[in-house]
A and B are shown apart, each in its own frame.
Chain A
């Protein structure tokens, strides 16, 4: 399928100054592109079954090593974005649900609507213009300062992480906000909440201990489903912020027709989403006694 796209991987070795046909033929042979697509596919599948994802055409390194090296920045960005989105989503969602249809609820929901309507790349660019170019208080791109000087290592990493996290986490946060609000309103109308109120429990205890725990179940389902979208969102965010993760790697690999790397990335990302969905399913059994495995 990838090879049906217009273009030729050999170009990446020839470069903009061109090459002789003999040189191109040699490169084609070296990369194994002189074989039929079916032969290439069979050889690739054989490799994958033995745990070998092949060697990148362009980077001349094992695909597994390249993916592993670049997965760490993406994992950091994903975790921080999920943490950011979930934390603020829950706080504002609960806050809005405490007084449905009040001013605070309406404002919260308008903010949520605004955040998930915004294209991520645009939000990222705006944040860069305001915080980095105009105010100069946060870095434009990358994961770390190359010359650390007197800066603190951890603080430097955190400042680099902040804008990509806000950009990637804002959409998730907006959805979580709406989910938590709806679930909380539903939970707060349940009989056990009335019982809790009649027992004289404080509002805080009722909201966070009784209502929220039950309201979180659909939120966890949603976050689990959302991870796949977040990985695709990471491609855009990483290219806006120059974050050296899997998203940027995927973009480079596509433009360079690096077939083994593209295939490797597809396999690893698909497997990750499947595993995460499975883990979320398992997590339910701990959170909801009604669906505990026997």
Chain B
């Protein structure tokens, strides 16, 4: 009798628990809500932003970081820099054997932020009417698109005029994030108000932009993506991008707890500052990330220059620069020395170092300079040469201080010139009126990205194009063939050969592999730390411990 009563009570408890569970699901409607959901994140971004429409105007790293949260691409290039592609709005794709037809199967559960369905018509419109004519790289990327067919609402077929091994990577949101046809059709795109208040399919929705102050996004509750554990993404309720005027304000604001996160971009924390920030007891930590030497600081050498026009001088300059000293003194060790393996800087792709390289060796440099006809005068001087750097990078002046003393050892005087990006475009990239120029460049995830810097058709064609004036028909041929070759083994061999030539000719000299810094409050979790800027912040969360001032 007692047992029966106990069983009945147990059953009653079980039924009550199940009922409570069902009621809670019915009332909240959120089976997937977890303790990680909720809260706001304040992100510091340097400088004012111009435009939030990533389909036409990404411009800066910070601009990409902001707008990527509003948009999706058709697929995503892996943040690990291995060149792998992951599905986004296209859940699968198929490339024909001749490489000229690409069939995209689209997700059928994607809505624009205004509630309308995302379809293949948006893909066709986005590529042909927005990205191709209005993105700065649109004509280069999509001029080979002959047509886009839309046999169904969730299928798009892209027909190309010729095969291109890199074309799929151009469907990443960096180059073409999808744009809503139903809103943009018939609008004057460059002047549209949409660019300041866009509607995308991304994990966050645009709410407000207070110019010079902040930009606010809120959670897209209907976002299609889920985390690997099944949680509905995104986790955060709100994203605030606080506009800060300079790097000092960024770091001070983070240390004072006014912002939670500074995204990766080079040069905002110098080597010793990293340990200072890490050692302070304020819950802020710096995470450095480098992948396969895919971001370099390097020196453009003007191959038409009075001194750098001589290959022996370029090789001598390479011998004179003490990269170990630079990494130690400027970066406190937080950088990779790549001088012995990557003079042409694509070893990460070719898998092997070039046979010729020019490590730090003053006597070899002096011998090369003597044989090039630049002998020392009675005072021990050879010649004076100049180098340009961009004012925004706070590390480069220190790097150039060391380089100045390195070159002095062989009787070369280095004249350092600081300029803003616009002036550099004019002087270096268009007029090529310079000797040397130091900058940071991403060299992957596909080596084809550097065709811009080495192919003779790109001489004087703007920012980070072939501004060395390097003209080598063999290299042009290898790069052209490399782009069209679909067989990965044959393709790699072409770049191995190109790498050997570039490492000896040195139109550009790789100095060191930079590490990219992600600095944030340690309570936060789920950052998509990686090489690219193509991932949004949908996985970032407060790990169930939302501070009061972020609720």
A6, A12, A141, A146: the one within 8 Å of B216 (CB): A146
Which one of B81-89, B177-185, B543-551 is at the interface? B543-551
Q: Mark A1-20, 1 if CB is under 8 A from B, else 0.
A: 00001111101111111111
Q: Is A37 engaged at the interface, CB distance under 8 Å to the other chain?
A: no
B256 within 8 A of A: yes
B480-536 residues with Cβ-Cβ distance < 8 A to A are: none
Determine if B330 is an interface residue (Cβ-Cβ < 8 Å). no
- A80 contacts B by Cβ under 8 Å: no
Interface residue B16 (Cβ < 8 Å from any Cβ of A): no
Contact B252 A129 (CB under 8 A): yes
**Chain B hits for A233, CB < 8 A:** none
A255 to B424, CA, bound (A): 12
In the complex, chain B residues whose CB is within 8 Å of the CB of A17: 58, 136-137, 463-464
In the bound complex, what is the Cα–Cα distance between A251 and B244 (angstroms)?
13
Give A214-233 as 1s and 0s: 1 = Cβ < 8 Å from B's Cβ atoms: 00000000000000000000
- Establish whether residues B258 and A22, one from each chain, have CB atoms under 8 Å apart when the complex forms: no
Contacts of A133 in B (CB 8 A): 252, 255-256
- Complex Cα distance A22/B133, Å? 10
The reply to whether the CB of A154 lies closer than 8 angstroms to some CB of chain B is no
Is residue A266 contacting chain B, with contact meaning CB distance below 8 A?
no
Instruction: Say yes or no: is A249 at the interface (Cβ < 8 Å to chain B).
Output: yes
Q: Report B211-228 residues with CB < 8 Å from chain A CB.
A: 211-214, 216
Give Cα A69–Cα B211 distance, bound, in whole angstroms. 9
Supposing A14-B462, A132-B252, A146-B42 touch, asked if A242 and B452 sit within 8 A by C-beta, the answer is: no
Within 8 A of B (CB), among A226-272: 238-242, 244-245, 248-249, 251-252, 255-257
Please name all residues of chain A whose beta carbon is closer than 8 Å to the beta carbon of B214 when the two chains form the complex.
142, 146
Nearest B-chain residue to A254, judged by Cβ: B420
Q: By the criterion CB–CB under 8 Å, are A60 and B195 in contact?
A: yes
Q: Report if A77 contacts B (CB, 8 A).
A: no
Q: Are B211 and A18 in contact (CB under 8 A)?
A: no
Q: A152-188 vs B: 1/0 string, CB under 8 Å?
A: 0000000000000000000000000000000000000
Closest residue of chain B to A150, judged by CB? B548
A183 to chain B, nearest CB (A): 38
List residues of chain B with CB within 8 A of the CB of A20.
136-137, 139-140, 461
Q: B249 within 8 Å of A by Cβ?
A: yes
Q: Assess whether B409 is interfacial by the CB under 8 Å rule.
A: no
Measured CB to CB, the nearest residue on chain B to A20 is B139
B191: min CB distance to chain A, Å: 6
Indicate with 1 or 0, residue by residue over B229-250, a CB within 8 angstroms of chain A CB atoms.
0000000000010111110110
CB of A92 closer than 8 Å to a CB of B = no
Complex contact B42–A18 (CB within 8 A): no
Determine if A149 and B50 form an interchain contact, defined as CB atoms under 8 angstroms apart.
Answer: no
Judged by a CB distance under 8 angstroms, whether A53 is at the interface is: no
Q: Does A79 contact B (CB under 8 A)?
A: no
Q: In the complex where A15-B60, A128-B252 touch, is A147 in contact with B50 (Cβ < 8 A)?
A: no
Interface residues of B in 50-72 (CB under 8 A from A): 50-51, 57-61, 63
With A7-B420, A12-B59, A146-B214 known as contacts, the answer to whether A23 contacts B248 (CB < 8 A) is no
A58 to B191, CA, bound (A): 11
Is A140 in contact with B252, judged by CB distance below 8 angstroms?
yes
Contacts of B311 in A (CB 8 A): none
A251: chain B residues within 8 A (beta carbon): 245
Cα A119 to Cα B248 in complex, Å, equals: 17
Name the contact of B213 in the complex, choosing from A22, A125, A142 (C-beta under 8 A): A142
User: Which residue of the partner chain, among B58, B136, B422, contacts A9 with CB atoms under 8 Å?
Assistant: B422
- A residues 17-63 with Cβ under 8 Å of B? 17-24, 30, 58-60
Whether the pair B549, A149 counts as a contact (CB closer than 8 A) is: yes
- The answer to whether the Cβ of B156 comes within 8 Å of any Cβ in the partner chain is no
A70 within 8 A of B: yes
Give the residue name and chain of the B residue nearest to A151 (CB): B549
Q: Does A143 count as interface, using CB distance less than 8 angstroms?
A: yes
Q: Which residues of A contact B256 (CB under 8 A)?
A: 132-133, 136, 139-140
- When each residue 26-66 of chain B gets 1 if its CB lies under 8 Å from chain A and 0 otherwise, what string results? 00000000000000101000011011000001111101000
Min CB gap B247→A, angstroms: 12
Say how far B515's CB is from chain A's closest CB, in angstroms. 19
Task: Give 6 A-B pairs besides A20-B140, A248-B48, A256-B50 with Cβ atoms closer than 8 angstroms.
Answer: A8-B426, A18-B461, A23-B139, A60-B195, A142-B213, A249-B212
Nearest first, the 4 closest Cβ-Cβ pairs linking A and B are A7-B422, A244-B212, A15-B59, A19-B136
